Amino acid sequence: MKNPKIPEATVVRLSIYSRYLTRLEQQGVPTVSSGEIAQAVGVSAAQVRKDLAYFGEFGTRGVGYGVKTLNAQILKILGLSTPWSVVVVGVGNLGSALASYRGFARRGFLIRALFDRDPAKVGRILNGLPVYGLERLPEVVRQVGASIGVICVPADQAQPVADLLVAAGIRGILNFAPQYISVPEPVLVRNVDLSVHLEVLSFGLVRRAEGERPGLAAAGNRPEE
């Protein structure tokens, strides 16, 4: 049981459990059951236990889980025990919004620098962060020790920017551009595609309207119980 293959869905849920546990911790709740976690985040209790079981035994039978210790374990599993340095490329509407999003820092993702191709934006300060030109990206990425890059540029620039980030030593990319990007082996990419989410909703809505029973199966939108 030491090093099984972990479903990505499990990792996503761990992240969500952790956020809930953090809130319980702040409220001073000492202990929680898989059923309570399940209800709070919209999954089944068996799912919660199975997800945790990939990594060890964290609970006490008949009692539940210690909120504080369980959260500490999950944070460690997720690699959040120490903070990550992040850079954002593309300071349009979305890039600016992400640069000032509090939720990232709260979970240990510290945005360290912003980049943009547009000379009119270079040199500005946004939310306390300087905007650099792309030519300084390699230098600055190394200087701030960034491991993760966020791409918020138009689709046609996404691949070149990804190449630039990879060349600078970035190891993970969060891509908001509506564009598939390819990266060499050890680098990880996650795509956040805003239109796609609306289109999946659209599909579900017209299916229902047409009186189709089944609709969608599982995932993103969680089952009620």
Near DNA in 28-57, by CB under 7 A: 32-35, 43-47, 49-50, 52-53, 57
Which of 58/104 has CB closer to a second copy?
A: 104
Task: Report if residue 9 touches DNA, rule: CB under 7 A.
Answer: yes
Which of 78/126 has CB closer to DNA?
A: 78
Which of 35/92 has CB closer to DNA?
A: 35
Helical axes 45-53 vs 34-41, angle rounded to 10° = 110
Task: Report if residue 60 touches DNA, rule: CB under 7 A.
Answer: yes
Task: Report if residue 58 touches DNA, rule: CB under 7 A.
Answer: yes
Structure tokens at 42: 């919209």
Inter-residue contact 211 to 197 (CB < 8 Å): no
Which candidate, 111, 136, 133, places its Cα nearest to that of 124? 133
CA 211 – CA 207 distance, rounded (Å): 7
The listed partner (DNA, a second copy, none) that binds 172, CB under 5 to 8 Å by sort, is a second copy
Residues touching DNA: how many (CB under 7 A)?
32
Nearest distance, CB of residue 33 and DNA, angstroms: 4
The listed partner (DNA, a second copy, none) that binds 174, CB under 5 to 8 Å by sort, is a second copy
The listed partner (DNA, a second copy, none) that binds 203, CB under 5 to 8 Å by sort, is a second copy
Q: Residue 99: how many CB atoms within 10 A of its CB?
A: 21
The listed partner (DNA, a second copy, none) that binds 182, CB under 5 to 8 Å by sort, is a second copy
Sign of the Cα pseudo-torsion (115, 117, 122, 127, in order): negative
Phi and psi at residue 119, in whole multiples of 5°?
Answer: -60, -25
Which candidate, 98, 74, 65, 62, places its Cα nearest to that of 177? 98
65, amino acid identity: Y
CA 128 – CA 131 distance, rounded (Å): 10
Binding piece for DNA, criterion CB under 7 A, among 117-125, 135-143, 192-200, 217-225: 217-225
The listed partner (a second copy, DNA, none) that binds 71, CB under 5 to 8 Å by sort, is none
Task: Report if residue 7 touches DNA, rule: CB under 7 A.
Answer: yes
